Structure 1
């Protein structure tokens, strides 16, 4: 048991160091959601004191979801594609360490980014946005962020296994940005044309956002169980698709 935990710790540490030594990935991943929140969730609503706190809370949840998407998708998508083509993934797989350790460590690395982004957002929301939540609500949001990282890691794994290193980065962006927009993370979906609103129902980011908003009293009235089931169903589909691609690549 101790050796398993220590191996996972070392593998996660190596993956985090690799990410942090790539400023073009680490800096935007950490800074982008925080800067967007400061601009749209705090500074832009200061002239609307009557509902500024509600807007700050609403945007905090949405940018938390937006923030966890990038580390999960890119750490698995573009990075795994690069490691696969460079031979690093093959070296990992022929080592005594089980392949699941490699994938789980990458997931823990993405979760570390998620927690860092979430805590930064919470700090600015509480200090500058006057967002006041109960302790259990802050904890629940953190738990949602951690669990919500999983479907995006699986989706990123699919992209990383299916596409080449050059294509994976572009395609991950092609998935990431429209998903954020169509989920209502930047603009409430009720402000979008009706036909665009329908896309939100098949996006994990939308359901995770709705669970987060419901936990702070800003839900749109849909059942939390429905959103949980939708996330579970999508994660299951992503998992089976990733396993099929994993085997197709000749990995056992």
Structure 2
């Protein structure tokens, strides 16, 4: 029974990955753009001076920030826009006529989106090591990659939820609004110390703040903080639950 219902999921995952990799515009903004931003922003900063409020230099701080930003771009924008367009074109309705269970479609979207975040993460980390001279232990490089990749599942689930919430015309402005708000309030573009205190207090509860904090803790040799991991887990439950509910609601409309 399990094999019969889950088997169609993996071909769909492979199809989604191939479609994403063939989208040159999307790959540029999710993979190359964050890497260029990292070189640009960190290049204008001192190599020894610490970012206010952290124990990290600009090279370390923005390496995690831009790797997280690239992963966020891949899973959030990619998922939401594709799903909204597929709903309009009837592709989702066609899938419902196959043996693919409802949860399989949502799982495939999250899994495929999370898979294509790896190039964005690895390229930024490689630039940090090769171009910016960042030196970390082997376990830190592996832990950084794993933490940033695993954390991207939270935003992949959010992308699925937005894709079922918005129509094809509304999905882009809605996604971009959420995308920029999460990036800015999470401290991915600039340190939170530049914000007024009341905004810093809000930022501390943003999923992107907890997401970047995972990598920042690893960079200074610590384990990720329990609060950040718990906050991301809570957001994952909320976003995945919303995606599942919206999928079922959309199914009843069809």
Alignment TM-score, normalising by the size of structure 1: 0.89
Deviation of 1:27 after TM superposition, in Å, equals 1.7
In the superposition, relative to structure 1, how do residues 104 and 239 fare at CA in structure 2: closer, same or farther (>3 Å)? closer
Matched, 1:228 2:226: no
Deviations 1:183-221 (A, max 9, x none): 1111110111222212213321110111110111188xx
Question: For structure 2, which runs of at least 5 residues remain unmatched after alignment?
Answer: 51-55
Match of 2:196 among 193, 196, 211: 193
Matches of 2:139 and 2:212, distance apart in 1: 18
Matched, 1:85 2:68: no
Matches of 2:251 and 2:6, distance apart in 1: 28
Deviations 1:202-244 (A, max 9, x none): 321110111110111188xx98011111111111121222222
Q: Is the 8 A contact 2:13 2:108 kept in 1?
A: yes
RMSD, aligned α-carbons: 2.5
Deviation of 1:4 after TM superposition, in Å, equals 8.0
- Quote the residue 2:161 is aligned against: 158
Q: Is the 8 A contact 1:75 1:106 kept in 2?
A: no
In structure 1, the residue corresponding to 2:187 is in which secondary structure?
coil
- Quote the residue 2:242 is aligned against: 241
Question: For structure 1, which runs of at least 5 residues remain unmatched after alignment?
Answer: none
Matches of 2:204 and 2:80, distance apart in 1: 23
Matches of 2:234 and 2:6, distance apart in 1: 29
Alignment TM-score, normalising by the size of structure 2: 0.88
In structure 2, the residue corresponding to 1:133 is in which secondary structure?
coil
Match of 1:178 among 167, 176, 181: 181
Deviations 1:113-170 (A, max 9, x none): 2111111112111111111111111111111122111110111111111110110111
Deviations 1:3-52 (A, max 9, x none): 888744432221122223332322211111111001112x223xx34348
Matches of 2:27 and 2:104, distance apart in 1: 22
Matched, 1:140 2:143: yes
In the superposition, relative to structure 1, how do residues 218 and 193 fare at CA in structure 2: closer, same or farther (>3 Å)? farther
More off after superposition, 58-67 vs 189-198: 189-198
Q: Is the 8 A contact 2:5 2:100 kept in 1?
A: no
Deviation of 1:182 after TM superposition, in Å, equals 1.0
